[in-house]
Amino acid sequence: MLQIEDTIISLDLLEQNFICDLNTCKGACCIEGDEGAPLNANEVKIIEELLPIIWDDLSDKSKDVINNQGITYIDREGEPVISIVNGAECVFTFTDEKGICKCAIEKAYREGKTDFYKPISCHLYPIRLQKYNDYTAVNYHKWNLCKCARKLGNKMQMPVYQFLKEPLIRKFGADWFNQLEIADNEFKKNPEILPSNRHYSDFQ
């Protein structure tokens, strides 16, 4: 593990490779699983305000779920998560002309209709965050659905954290990411200096 500020980071972010391969997986992570993606209170408010803009891109079954229970429900940990259809599919997905499942919120962003890209938990995947009293755990979630992404990442030698540079900076800031990058470079040059738990300041 690696500590930067108030985050504890799994070394998998540095050691594992990953690049989303939508042409192969067709966006399966948006329609598989058993729970919705986590949202914070501010994101809930933003998405509720976005509903009229993205409504026509949603499926009828998604609209039914939203009309009946709203855009969120409370998960087993008591936190708000995105509503899902049939226990799996995110209500904000749509399928494009190539048969790829995509996000209606991201579509609105790319069309210049909002400055909100997508929920940070979605933007960060396959990184997952777990908040504790004094720190946030930053972990890599290895899902069988993403086997093609690991294969492509290995081919291109793209570490998880580099693939997710944009959302990591969005969440933690550019300075935090720079510290992670420095730690990774030091580790690659001298892997013996990085035991299972080491603070970034040791590299300064």
Q: How far is CA 107 from CA 71, 95, 166, in A?
A: 17, 11, 17
Name all contacts of 112-121 with Cβ < 8 Å and 24+ positions apart.
113/53, 114/50, 114/53, 116/43, 116/46, 116/47, 116/50, 117/170, 119/37, 119/38, 119/39, 119/43, 119/47, 119/82, 120/40, 120/43, 120/167, 120/170, 120/171, 121/37, 121/38, 121/39
6 confidence band (pLDDT: 50, 70, 90): very high
pLDDT score recorded for residue 193? 63
Sign of CA dihedral 144, 145, 151, 154: negative
pLDDT score recorded for residue 40? 92
pLDDT tens-digit readout, 40-72: 999 999 999 999 999 999 999 999 999 999 999
The strand ranges marked E within 28-180 are 72-74, 80-82, 84-85, 89-90, 93-95, 101-103, 127-131, 136-140
Mean pLDDT of the 170-191 span: 92
Answer whether residue 189 shows pLDDT above 90: no
Answer whether residue 83 shows pLDDT above 80: yes
CA–CA distance, 64 with 181 (Å, rounded to integer) = 45
Pair 33, 81: CB distance under 8 Å: no
pLDDT score recorded for residue 31? 86
195 confidence band (pLDDT: 50, 70, 90): low
- Least confident piece of the model among 60-64, 78-82, 147-151, 197-201: 197-201
pLDDT score recorded for residue 198? 45
For residue 133, the 8-state DSSP code is S
187 confidence band (pLDDT: 50, 70, 90): confident
Domain ranges (residues) in the chain: 1-18+126-204, 26-118
Tokens 């997710």 locate to 164
Pair 107, 113: CB distance under 8 Å: no
On average, the pLDDT of the chain sits at: 91
- Least confident piece of the model among 50-64, 70-84, 151-165: 70-84
CA–CA distance, 194 with 148 (Å, rounded to integer) = 29
Smallest Cα–Cα separation from 84: which of 61, 102, 100, 106? 61
Amino acid identity of 23? N
